[in-house]
Amino acid sequence: MNKILIALAASLTVLTAGAQIGKAASEATDSAKHKIDEKRADNEAKKSGPVGKAVNNVKSGYHKNRSKASADKAKKALKDAG
């Protein structure tokens, strides 16, 4: 009976860790996508006039913040998994 409980607890731990690693991978992907969008907005800002520059700078700032938040979430998920 004891061995069954230990095996059950171990399997739940593995499942939970796997879910956290999956979440970390998803957040890391989101972070990378936001980083790409940030660079794209920066590039567009350089080519734009004054209004376009302001709009693209706002977009860049948004994607920079989202990228950092996603990276932080990924780090936390990995920490929780380990």
Distance CA 22, CA 24 (A): 5
Condensed to tens digits (0 to 9), the pLDDT of residues 62-74 reads: 999 999 999 999 9
Name the residue among 35, 40, 41 with its Cα closest to residue 56.
41
Q: Where are the domains of the chain?
A: 2-81
- pTM beyond cutoff 0.85: no
| Secondary structure letter of residue 79 according to DSSP | H
pLDDT given at position 59: 96
How confident is the prediction along the chain (82 residues), in pLDDT tens digits per residue?
666 666 655 655 555 666 778 888 888 999 999 999 999 999 999 999 999 999 999 999 999 999 999 999 998 888 887 6
